[in-house]
């Protein structure tokens, strides 16, 4: 039987925390990059995101972030645009909630993006009270029935 020459298996990797809690420098977008909000996770290291330029793109999570940085619906991410495929992009960075608030305060993110919601209803499309699931009746209406 071969000897184990490594320093441990997946449980050791799981216990290793890459010191993500410490403050890091805020990264702004450059040319060829765009801010986006995750609409839904698709699996296989992919997600669907709505970019700030109102384009829905299929985003691929890069290998350095895969299984290390957890991305959920509603998160603000930085994507690298592909010059040969406009409908696809690559996730470069996930912003922490406090970093996303700073980006909004600096004017990098538009005002119609909601940051503190878990679901990605972020870009205002339609809000005309369609979320009401119940009807309210007056006492007189009940007596007529």
H or E segment at 14?
helix 10-15
Task: Please check whether residue 67 is in contact with residue 86, taking contact to mean a CB–CB distance below 8 angstroms.
Answer: no
pLDDT in tens, 77-104: 999 999 899 999 999 999 998 898 999 8
Would the pTM count as exceeding 0.85? Answer: no
Of 131 and 4, the structure prediction assigns the larger pLDDT to: 4
Confidence band of 3 (pLDDT split at 50, 70, 90): confident
Measured CA to CA in angstroms, residue 78 lies from 75, 122, 123, 130 at distances of 10, 16, 16, 31
pLDDT of 145 reads 63
pLDDT in tens, 99-127: 989 998 998 888 888 876 554 444 444 44
pLDDT at position 40 over 80 = yes
Measured CA to CA in angstroms, residue 133 lies from 29, 41, 129, 130, 136 at distances of 41, 27, 10, 8, 10
């Amino acid at each position: 039987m071969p000897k184990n020459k490594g320093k441990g298996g997946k449980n050791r990797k799981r216990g290793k925390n890459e010191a993500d809690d410490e403050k890091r420098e805020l990264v702004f977008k450059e040319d060829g990059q765009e801010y986006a909000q995750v609409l839904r996770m698709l699996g296989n290291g992919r997600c669907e995101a709505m970019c700030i330029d109102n384009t829905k793109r299929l985003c691929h999570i890069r290998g350095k972030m895969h299984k290390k940085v957890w991305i959920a619906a509603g998160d603000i991410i930085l994507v690298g645009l592909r010059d040969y495929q406009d409908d696809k992009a690559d996730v470069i960075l996930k912003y922490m909630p406090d970093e996303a608030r700073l980006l909004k305060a600096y004017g990098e993110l538009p005002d119609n993006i909601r940051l503190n919601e878990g679901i990605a209803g972020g870009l205002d499309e339609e809000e005309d009270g369609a979320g009401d699931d119940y009807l309210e009746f007056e006492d007189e209406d009940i007596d007529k029935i």
